[in-house]
Amino acid sequence: MGTALEKVLEGADRPGFAGYVTVSGVHGVMESFRDEELKRIHNRSYLSTPDGMPMVWLAKWHGQAQVARVYGPDLMLEMVSATARTGRKHYFWGGNEGVAEDLAGRMKERFPGTEVAGICCPPFRPLTDAEEKELVVQLKESRPHFFWVGLSTPKQERFMHDLLNRNPDLCDGWGHGLILFGVGAAFDFHTGRVRQAPGVMQRWGLEWLFRLVCEPRRLWRRYAVNNTAFVFSILPQLMGISNYPMER
């Protein structure tokens, strides 16, 4: 987590810089495995972190002993905590009606001195050109350092990439940078709308099971398809039969 925080702060303090952070577990990896454009979006990120323990275990299997989990909801708490009373500003964009406002209030209460540049509960569809232009105007006026996106994967990754790709001059003239984060359910977790898995289940890589029990109708297909596909995808690697080339 410490390395991720350092890199994010480095980007946020770089004048005129803009980049996005993807936080991926099995679901995000398998979506990228099936979608070449989504894979390119992940590979173009400023920083990609392992959101789930299977990603960490697989990295360690391949000799990357330093890899540790960077869980999206925890990353949000660590970033807000580290930047309270520093003048760095946060924009919360996502969730159902009222969620972003609730989240901003809770962050300010939990971490006194937190500065909020803006909040928005976006529509459940891609933004129109007019809506995107309005968002860009808001960002240029409020100049946040951090922009938290609370959509689902892969919507949030596509949104972050497209926003920066279509607006390369977004941060021109800023005295600092802008880092976007796709943190999915963190908005609902930190506002108490959805329960988080107990720490022991997270450490053992069983958060998916807890969430499935809590939201079976919404999540059963995701986990049934992606978890199974992930296991069959990594088995040849673990057995030394095949390997996937690294893309940089």
pLDDT value of residue 150: 96
Same domain for 110 and 60? yes
Whether 230 shows a pLDDT value over 90: the answer reads: no
Q: How confident is the model at residue 73 (pLDDT cuts 50, 70, 90)?
A: very high
Question: Average pLDDT, stretch 58-72?
Answer: 89
Q: Which residue did the predictor score with more confidence, 231 or 119? A: 119
Residue type for position 183? V
Q: What pLDDT does residue 183 have? A: 97
- Average pLDDT over the chain reads 93
The answer to whether position 196 is within a domain reads: no
pLDDT score of 244 more than 80: no
Best mean pLDDT range from 31-35, 64-68, 91-95 = 91-95
Lowest mean pLDDT among 95-109, 185-199, 204-218: 204-218
- pLDDT for 215: 86
Q: Which of 237, 174, 222 is nearest to 52 (CA)?
A: 222
Confidence of residue 246 (pLDDT cuts 50, 70, 90): low
CA distances for 11 relative to 19, 55, 144, 176, angstroms: 8, 24, 13, 8
107 and 217 within one domain: no
pLDDT in tens, 120-171: 999 989 999 999 999 999 999 999 999 999 998 999 999 999 999 999 999 9
- Does 186 map to a domain? no
92 inside domain: yes
CA–CA distance, 46 with 19 (Å, rounded to integer): 5
- Residues 156 and 224 reside in one and the same domain: no
Q: Is residue 193 part of a domain?
A: no
Banded model confidence at residue 247, pLDDT cuts 50, 70, 90: low
Is the entire prediction scored with pTM above 0.95?
no
Number of domains the chain contains:
2
Dihedral sign (CA 67, 68, 69, 70): negative
For residue 180, the surrounding DSSP H or E stretch is strand 178-182
Question: What integer pLDDT is reported at residue 240 of this predicted model?
Answer: 74
pLDDT at 221: 82
User: Would 128 be classed as within a structural domain?
Assistant: yes
User: What pLDDT was estimated at residue 234?
Assistant: 82
The range of the structural domain enclosing residue 10 comes to 2-180
Dump pLDDT digits (tens) for 24-57: 999 899 999 899 999 999 999 999 999 989 989 9
Angle between the N-to-C axes of helices 36-43 and 26-34, in degrees from 0 to 180, rounded to the nearest 10: 120
What CATH number did the domain enclosing 105 receive? Answer: 3.40.50
